Amino acid sequence: MSYVDEVFEQVKAKNPDQPEFLQAVTEVLNSLRPVVEQHEEQYRKLAILERITEPDRQIMFRVPWVDDKGQTQVNRGFRVQFNNAIGPYKGGLRLHPSVNLSIIKFLGFEQVFKNSLTTLPIGGGKGGSDFDPKGKSDNEIMRFCQSFMTELYKYIGADQDVPAGDIGTGAREIGFMYGQYKRIKNLYEGVLTGKGLTYGGSLARTEATGYGLVYLTEEMVKCHDDKMEGKTVAVSGAGNVAIYAIQKAQQLGAKVVTCSDSTGWIYDPEGIDVELLKDVKEVKRARLTEYAAQRPSAEYHEKKDGEHGVWQYKVDIALPCATQNELNLEDAKMLVANGVQYVAEGANMPTTLDATEYFQQNGVKFVCGKASNAGGVATSALEMSQNSERLSWTFEEVDSKLKNIMVGIYHNIDDAAKEYGMEGNYVAGANIAGFKKVVEAMIAQGVC
């Protein structure tokens, strides 16, 4: 049995109840085969794959808080510190009822390679809670965030582990957590990113993941002698990543005709009105029905199982920006039948493994999230640099660094795929390029 298969069997046996984590490990290990085969003896001796698939540590804790009715509620908190070979642990905090150890481990594992691809000195981690921020008052959110940080503060620090936002964790939640950290530690340090602009946040961080996704997509399109202008685009989601992906794609002359949330989707053949979408989602925190009510050209559809949602329309580019496993094989077939040419993931692992393979087999240029959504964490690392310098850079300065990083990532993954004889396989390219840097650092640092 090959070393990759041997380790995969061990990971499966140790984590039988973690399907999302196993899915991520399968994708990464499979595409690393050519690199691992070249160094099999050395990697085996140093147990590189065993070490890279086992987090440095996994912290789980109780988060008690009192709701507005005076009732005590209990949630479960997580922080998985996966690998710090190239820098302090870095990765978001997800607040969503679906959160469990498998999801946090899959996200932390992917984060290791993603952070490596940014070229910045950041290791990989992830955390969160099964707390559902939907429908909670600001005071309930604050009490939850304070309780969460009252435990988490023990394990994080500006040079140790620097969490950020993710699904359900936006500027409001980061603010409450930062306040509690400062209060407990009496330290004003860049321990979280995604902070507000008045207390150490970076300009362009809010836009970074969506903008970065489109910068990378634009570079890929250009490198295929094509242009963004005039392209029709399907986007899923209506959160932080989706909104700014829509905005940047439209600034570059593309027309985005869809967006979605967990209850339904919008088809707007005139192109999504991003200012209206921002008002509905960022200001009013309302459902997409509100968007449709104010926009005569838009159709709203309630989400139903077995339907293709935003993936049923004729588009050139698809950008899944909502959540994991939201684009399956049947959706991929529909997109291919409708002539999709480029797919780049804004969310983490939104495309199932069989759908990814279908895209690749049918000539669709497909980039996985660890490369195409790395703009968020890259800009978080730029926020850390600004905090260390105690300076703030302009929007243009941060945005231009972000664009350079995303263009660099595209060429890095393209070159890595070519070097290993897999031209155009950007999934393999991303995994290989991200892995090689981390492994070099791990080997240099000895067995630890």
C-alpha 174: how far from its chain's center?
A: 17
From the candidates 105, 126, 255, 365, give the one annotated as an active-site residue: 126
> Can you tell me the distance from the alpha carbon of 35 to that of 49, in angstroms, rounded to the nearest whole number?
12
Give the amino acid at 369: G
Structure tokens at 361: 């087999």
Spatial CB neighbours of 177, under 8 Å, sequence gap ≥ 6: 93, 145, 146, 148, 149, 152, 163, 192
Q: Which residues bind ligand NDP (CB under 6 A)?
A: 165-168, 209, 237-242, 260-263, 321-323, 326, 346-348, 373, 376
CB-side neighbour CA atoms (13 Å) of 159: 2
Closest approach, Cβ 39 to ligand NDP, in A, equals 30
Cβ atoms within 10 Å of 269's Cβ, excluding its own: 12
Cβ atoms within 10 Å of 373's Cβ, excluding its own: 30
> Can you tell me the distance from the alpha carbon of 132 to that of 75, in angstroms, rounded to the nearest whole number?
9
Closest approach, Cβ 171 to ligand NDP, in A, equals 11
Closest approach, Cβ 150 to ligand NDP, in A, equals 24
- Three-state DSSP state, 389: helix
Q: What's the DSSP call for residue 262?
A: S
Residue with smaller CB distance to ligand NDP, 220 or 377? 377
> Can you tell me the distance from the alpha carbon of 154 to that of 133, in angstroms, rounded to the nearest whole number?
24
Cβ atoms of 118 and 190 within 8 Å: the answer is no
Spatial CB neighbours of 269, under 8 Å, sequence gap ≥ 6: 257, 297
Q: In Å, how far are 66, 229, 364 from 81, measured between CA atoms?
A: 28, 41, 34
Torsion of CA 365, 366, 371, 376, to 10 degrees: 100
Question: Taking phi first (over 0 means left), then psi (-120 to 50 degrees means alpha), and beta for anything else, what does residue 414 get?
Answer: alpha
Q: Which long-range contacts (CB under 8 A, 24 or more apart) does 270-273 make?
A: 270/297, 270/298, 272/235, 272/246
Is 14 noted as a catalytic residue in this protein? no
Task: Report the residue number whose CB is nearest to ligand NDP.
Answer: 239
The C-alpha angle with vertex 346 and arms to 342 and 348, in degrees rounded to 5, equals: 120
Torsion of CA 395, 91, 107, 149, to 10 degrees: -130
Known catalytic residues?
A: 126
